Chain A
Amino acid sequence: MISHNFRRALLPIATLGVASMVLTGCASGTSGTGGPGDAGEADGVVTIYGTIADTEAELLEESWADWEEANDIDIQYESSKEFEAQISIRAQGGNAPDIAIFPQPGLLADLASREYIQPAPEGVAANVAEYWSEDWAAYGTTGDTLYGAPLMASVKGFIWYSPSQFAEWGVEVPETWDELLALTQTIADETGTAPWCAGFGSDAATGWPGTDWVEDLVLREAGPDVYDQWVSHEIPFSDPAIVSAFDSVGDILLNPDYVNAGFGDVKSINSTPFGDPARALGDGTCALHHQASFFDGFIQDPKNGNATVGPDADIWAFVTPSAEAGGNAVTGGGEIVGAFSNDEDTIAVQEYLSSAEWANTRVALGGVISANNGLDPASASSPILQEAITILQDPDTTFRFDASDLMPGVVGAGSFWTGMVDWVNGKSTEEVLSTIDASWPSE
């Protein structure tokens, strides 16, 4: 009897098994419909979506609070660490925010070329022309259309060190890349331990700090023109210039005598969260660390031991030296503000965010800088940020945006990151580069 009942129950169970096949996925297409057209309505609410989270997000909301009052527009900011993944899904699913703050111009270009993003309104275009250099304006431009204005900026490629330790070992801040290698060897001899620490760990984005290393070396060894060709894929990753940059990075990061101070062997770079070297720097177990200007926040975090940052403090930084002495090229990052809607309220918010007024308000609140020329360097809250603004506003500086952020998302936020991880794990440079090239989007 039981068996008979069970047999009868089998059919639905098996049917369920078949039915679960239904769930084996189906991709949905995008359709080119000739521009996004009119979207959004002037209802007094503007939604903004971005990556900026926690304390930074609170400061962001504080920066526009007065303006909201004055203009009677409610800005609703929503942040997500999965922004890069979610924004394209929301756009393709017809559920986009009014405005999105893109840390990757490449992602903005992806969306713009698929006609999801509104061209920049006149007021924004005027602000961009007035306050930003042509380089920066180009990051918000796809084809011949300007799609958005930059927001904030950061300078990458700082090398953090302890001035007092340097004095103790009798070494100077290096002027060239070769001097940096010599300095590394000297410290290794002096201390008998690895001088460098590095951490590539960042959950789903693991590997990104490695791309900053490579970008710095491409810009400093091969120059800005080759860098631009590399970004636009006129030269592939397997090009000798890029291979040479990887090899130079490998001279430090793949050398077991030079890494990973305070964390273990070369492979431990991948498993070390990118913020952890701050502690090793602070307590002196690690002498040198390569990371962008935002890292002073991590170094001064009480959780990491409260080290101070400044020219005469515990920890200070110099810009990664070029191949030749007197180099002035830096890489950096930033955000571009793109809009999915074109109603009056959205346009008003976009214009405000692209103004010098907003830049000064936000920078005065501390922790960030902007490449807006209307910015007063005195607004910056810490020595490293003042240093960064000085670099950004110096007319002699050759500034280049972070290459991985300019590349299409599948590479810049995908195969380039995982490629760096594989490379540290011991995969050959050649193999890693051909894999990244193979993942470049088809046309």
Chain B
Amino acid sequence: MSAFLAWIATLPALAQIPLVLLAFLVVIALLIFFIEIAPRSGRKYTIIRAAACVLIPTLIFLALGSVYWAAGAAAVFGGLFFILDYRSKQGAGYLFQLVGFMSPAIFLLAIGLIYPTIQTTIQAFMNSRGTRFVGLDNFIWIFTQDTGIRTVLNTVVWVLIVPTVSTIFGLAYAVFIDKSRGEKIFKVLVFMPMAISFVGASIIWRFVYAVRPAGQEQIGLLNQIVVWMGGQPVDWISNSPWNTFFLIVVLIWIQTGFAMVILSAAIKGVPAEQLEAAELDGTNAWQRFINVTVPGIRSSLVVVLTTISIASLKVFDIVRTMTAGANETSVIANEMYSQWQGFEVGRSAAFAVVLFIMVLPIVVYNARQIAKQREIR
């Protein structure tokens, strides 16, 4: 893998892009092949499996130039395809199918999520060099000093404010533009920030907040407005505690579009009969909205809220780009990175575990909501 990347790095920049894309597509194609095509029954698929048995070891031999690897691969794939072929002739059993279909996903989850989670948890209880266990020292360190507590509190503030405000704004906007002329254009306007990367958005907003001493020409939009109003320029992102709120604005700006699109679709799904019935009962628009529309889109509201909550829990790029955590604006993900960068692996992992524990209830709630949805269906 690293040899492949090193080889790619020697090529001109423009040639690298298609190659990386191609490699990505090959991996995806392989996954799809194993999940979709390999387990099917029928002569055609038997032939495909037999060909793969020969081709894969050959390719491995050509790529690595080692007979042992090729032989190993041939044994593994040969065995795998033989079983698949044998089972597909008789109509595969449910359990076998389950394993066959799930194994790529389970394998990827194991190396990408389960193993790192276990490893990080172990590291959280070890010293910075990972040589001995130090018990709860890293956690004690987080919760006994100002900056650590402040970091956790800031993260909580993010999680409380961003989802609620984004959802309220998104919902209000979706309701107001519903069935209006030019609805599409209004939607695009609000949805556009979603397409900007967090770092890009942060740089845009840093310019908005930029400050120059009084009397000089302001380059920041917000301070220019303040000066036109006859005020003194304010340094928005360096005065605690308000600076955190000015950073939060950036994420709200990004997430409102997401909330608006989903909720707008959900509002369109509220049955017109119910709304009409409510109208005949003599309700006003507000009552209709609260008693008919909101219960009708409750499940989407939950999804939007939980998704944005998780996004704001792991916010990193915005804080990193705008303040790098200075002036008491740091959040857990940023502190995790800073500590890791300073070789404090234990403390960094402890922050990661705290973040994990904070995410857990939201994820569990989300999963249970999905299970409920299933029951309704």
On chain B, the number of residues with a Cβ less than 8 Å from chain A's Cβ atoms is: 76
Q: Is B339 an interface residue (CB 8 A)?
A: yes
B343 near A114 (CB under 8 angstroms)?
yes
Interface string of B124-150 (1 = CB under 8 A from A): 000111110010011001001111000
Partner among B303, B355, B356 whose Cβ is within 8 Å of the Cβ of A13: B303
Known: A6-B266, A15-B370, A114-B343. A27 touches B127 (CB 8 A): no
For residue A96, give the distance in angstroms from its CB to the closest CB of chain B: 13
In the assembled complex, the Cα of A84 lies from the Cα of B338 at a distance in Å of: 11
| CB-defined contacts of B179 to chain A, threshold 8 Å | none
List the B residue with the shortest CB-CB distance to A3.
Answer: B269
B134 near A32 (CB under 8 angstroms)?
no
| CB-defined contacts of B131 to chain A, threshold 8 Å | 32
In the assembled complex, the Cα of A27 lies from the Cα of B335 at a distance in Å of: 12
B137 near A204 (CB under 8 angstroms)?
no
In the assembled complex, the Cα of A268 lies from the Cα of B376 at a distance in Å of: 60
* A-B contacts besides A18-B366, A410-B342, 8 pairs, CB < 8 Å: A16-B307, A25-B355, A26-B116, A32-B131, A114-B343, A272-B213, A409-B343, A438-B144
Could you show 26 A-B contacts with beta carbons less than 8 Å apart? Answer: A2-B268, A11-B370, A17-B303, A20-B311, A21-B359, A24-B310, A24-B359, A25-B352, A27-B336, A31-B130, A32-B129, A84-B341, A88-B342, A114-B343, A268-B213, A268-B235, A270-B327, A271-B238, A408-B343, A413-B342, A414-B342, A421-B327, A422-B327, A425-B239, A439-B145, A442-B127
Q: Is A203 an interface residue (CB 8 A)?
A: yes
In the assembled complex, the Cα of A6 lies from the Cα of B369 at a distance in Å of: 16
Please give the residue numbers on chain A whose beta carbons come within 8 Å of chain B beta carbons, in ascending order.
2-3, 6-7, 9-11, 13-18, 20-32, 84-85, 88-89, 94, 110, 114, 203-204, 206-207, 262-264, 267-268, 270-272, 408-410, 413-415, 417-418, 421-422, 425, 431, 434-435, 438-439, 441-443
For residue B86, give the distance in angstroms from its CB to the closest CB of chain A: 33
A88 near B341 (CB under 8 angstroms)?
yes
List the A residue with the shortest CB-CB distance to B213.
Answer: A263
Q: Is B208 an interface residue (CB 8 A)?
A: no
Q: Is B2 an interface residue (CB 8 A)?
A: yes
In the assembled complex, the Cα of A416 lies from the Cα of B117 at a distance in Å of: 32
Q: Is B76 an interface residue (CB 8 A)?
A: no
Partner among A20, A110, A413, A431 whose Cβ is within 8 Å of the Cβ of B146: A431
| CB-defined contacts of B116 to chain A, threshold 8 Å | 26, 28
B343 near A24 (CB under 8 angstroms)?
no
B363 near A441 (CB under 8 angstroms)?
no
Q: Is B344 an interface residue (CB 8 A)?
A: yes
| CB-defined contacts of B238 to chain A, threshold 8 Å | 270-271, 421, 425
Partner among A26, A268, A270 whose Cβ is within 8 Å of the Cβ of B352: A26
A27 near B349 (CB under 8 angstroms)?
yes
List the A residue with the shortest CB-CB distance to B338.
Answer: A414
For residues 161 through 193 of chain B, which have their beta carbon under 8 Å from a beta carbon of chain A? none
For residue A137, give the distance in angstroms from its CB to the closest CB of chain B: 24
Known: A21-B310, A22-B112, A409-B343. A30 touches B119 (CB 8 A): no
A17 near B307 (CB under 8 angstroms)?
yes
Q: Is B123 an interface residue (CB 8 A)?
A: yes
List the B residue with the shortest CB-CB distance to A280.
Answer: B213
B2 near A442 (CB under 8 angstroms)?
no
| CB-defined contacts of B138 to chain A, threshold 8 Å | 442
Please give the residue numbers on chain B whose beta carbons come within 8 Å of chain A beta carbons, in ascending order.
2, 112-113, 116-117, 119-120, 123, 127-131, 134, 137-138, 141, 144-147, 211, 213-214, 235, 238-240, 262, 265-266, 268-271, 299-300, 303, 306-307, 310-311, 313-314, 324-328, 333, 336, 338-349, 352, 355-356, 359, 363, 366-367, 369-370, 373-374, 376-377
| CB-defined contacts of B345 to chain A, threshold 8 Å | 27, 29-30
List the A residue with the shortest CB-CB distance to B112.
Answer: A22
List the B residue with the shortest CB-CB distance to A110.
Answer: B343
In the assembled complex, the Cα of A26 lies from the Cα of B122 at a distance in Å of: 12
List the A residue with the shortest CB-CB distance to B307.
Answer: A17
| CB-defined contacts of A271 to chain B, threshold 8 Å | 211, 235, 238
Among A13, A32, A425, A442, the one with the most B-chain Cβ atoms within 10 Å of its Cβ is: A442
A18 near B349 (CB under 8 angstroms)?
no
Known: A14-B373, A271-B211. A410 touches B307 (CB 8 A): no
| CB-defined contacts of B211 to chain A, threshold 8 Å | 271
For residue A257, give the distance in angstroms from its CB to the closest CB of chain B: 18
For residue B138, give the distance in angstroms from its CB to the closest CB of chain A: 8
Partner among A16, A24, A32, A441 whose Cβ is within 8 Å of the Cβ of B355: A24
| CB-defined contacts of B340 to chain A, threshold 8 Å | 27-28
In the assembled complex, the Cα of A203 lies from the Cα of B348 at a distance in Å of: 23
Partner among B145, B271, B300, B314 whose Cβ is within 8 Å of the Cβ of A10: B300
In the assembled complex, the Cα of A13 lies from the Cα of B208 at a distance in Å of: 33
List the A residue with the shortest CB-CB distance to B214.
Answer: A264
A204 near B324 (CB under 8 angstroms)?
yes
Known: A6-B265, A24-B314, A435-B145. A88 touches B343 (CB 8 A): yes
Known: A25-B352, A27-B345. A3 touches B123 (CB 8 A): no
Known: A24-B314, A27-B123, A114-B343. A442 touches B366 (CB 8 A): no
In the assembled complex, the Cα of A127 lies from the Cα of B299 at a distance in Å of: 72
Partner among A26, A409, A421, A425 whose Cβ is within 8 Å of the Cβ of B342: A409
In the assembled complex, the Cα of A3 lies from the Cα of B296 at a distance in Å of: 10
B363 near A18 (CB under 8 angstroms)?
yes
Partner among A2, A29, A263, A418 whose Cβ is within 8 Å of the Cβ of B326: A418
| CB-defined contacts of A114 to chain B, threshold 8 Å | 129, 343
In the assembled complex, the Cα of A28 lies from the Cα of B367 at a distance in Å of: 28
| CB-defined contacts of B128 to chain A, threshold 8 Å | 441-443
List the A residue with the shortest CB-CB distance to B333.
Answer: A25
In the assembled complex, the Cα of A15 lies from the Cα of B359 at a distance in Å of: 15
A442 near B141 (CB under 8 angstroms)?
yes
Which 8 residue pairs spanning A and B have beta carbons closest together? Answer: A410-B342, A26-B116, A204-B324, A438-B145, A3-B269, A17-B307, A271-B235, A6-B269
B146 near A17 (CB under 8 angstroms)?
no
| CB-defined contacts of A204 to chain B, threshold 8 Å | 324, 326
List the B residue with the shortest CB-CB distance to A260.
Answer: B213
B341 near A409 (CB under 8 angstroms)?
yes
B269 near A2 (CB under 8 angstroms)?
yes
Known: A3-B269, A24-B355. A10 touches B303 (CB 8 A): yes
Partner among B130, B214, B239 whose Cβ is within 8 Å of the Cβ of A30: B130
Known: A20-B310, A408-B342. A442 touches B327 (CB 8 A): no
In the assembled complex, the Cα of A22 lies from the Cα of B311 at a distance in Å of: 11
A11 near B112 (CB under 8 angstroms)?
no
For residue B311, give the distance in angstroms from its CB to the closest CB of chain A: 7
For residue A48, give the distance in angstroms from its CB to the closest CB of chain B: 16
Among B269, B356, B366, the one with the most A-chain Cβ atoms within 10 Å of its Cβ is: B269
| CB-defined contacts of B145 to chain A, threshold 8 Å | 434-435, 438-439
In the assembled complex, the Cα of A6 lies from the Cα of B270 at a distance in Å of: 10
Partner among A26, A32, A414, A434 whose Cβ is within 8 Å of the Cβ of B120: A26
| CB-defined contacts of B359 to chain A, threshold 8 Å | 21, 24
| CB-defined contacts of B266 to chain A, threshold 8 Å | 6
B346 near A206 (CB under 8 angstroms)?
no
A29 near B2 (CB under 8 angstroms)?
no
B369 near A14 (CB under 8 angstroms)?
yes
